[in-house]
Amino acid sequence: MAKSKRALGRGIGAILEDVEEAYRQDIEDKSNLIQEIDVDSIIPNIYQPRSYFNEEALKELSESIKKHGLLQPVIVVKKDDGYMLIAGERRLRATKLANLETIKAIVADIESENLRELALIENIQREDLNPIELANAYRELIEQYNITHDELSNIIHKSRAQITNTLRLLNLSKKTKMLLVEGKISQGHAKVLVGLDKKEEESVVNTILGQKLSVRDTEMIVKQIKEGKSSKNEQKSKTKHTYIKELDFAVKKLSHLGIKSKKRDNKLIIEFKNSKEVEKFLNKFEV
């Protein structure tokens, strides 16, 4: 039975409109939309798609917050005696790194059942997720809401091709995905690697790292690999065709000699009813 589709995007517009309105306001404006809350009262969102945070970038953001303050508030929801983060984990981490006790936040009024949806969509639209985190976020939305790539494209305003190509990165090996997350290879490199078998992928990745190949150079290497495989497959097909024809000829030849045989699974099977037939067959090859 097909899984029914759940509605996607409920409440997103209103939340993001509040954020935009808050961003447009002067930092010194004591709006009801923005509150100063204790950073220790905020717990992470378990649905946060981001799993990798560049330490150097966090330090730079932390220094900026120390100097200029936090220009864009985080988004939280009430949770027990504190708050749960919806969006802005980099800003929260950088604020903690700056040893600040409070942070500017918008306290959203949203039902808890929408937390996963909000975290995924808000991060896709607003945060600089690495390609693997983005692919995981796309996959979770597609699986959670049983939607197509086209439907997701309309919701998050990304092209279908971009979504499909990003999802294909999840087929890469664990090692290659980590190199992509760490920025040691680019998304352009990674896209070229999709479709290679694991040994070929590892070989090309090592070449990229060892020789600092550009995406164009990588495309040339992968093209040569694929053309070589195509040539081998074509030759294998021709050889197999010739082999089958030869088996057919052997069956006919043995039949003319009064020997019963047949072809099965590319093998020649000779049938004997008794030892006399075996002896007769062997006598035909005596010199």
How crowded is residue 223: how many other Cβ atoms within 10 Å of its Cβ?
11
Catalytic status, residue 20: no
Amino acid letter at 134?
Answer: L
Residues 39, 98 contacting (CB under 8 angstroms):
no
How crowded is residue 268: how many other Cβ atoms within 10 Å of its Cβ?
14
Which one of the listed residues 28, 63, 89, 227 is annotated catalytic? 89
CA distances to 111, 145, 159, 160, 262 from 9, in Å? 13, 10, 18, 18, 65
Cβ neighbours for 78, distance < 8 A, ≥ 6 positions apart: 84, 107
What positions carry a catalytic annotation? 89
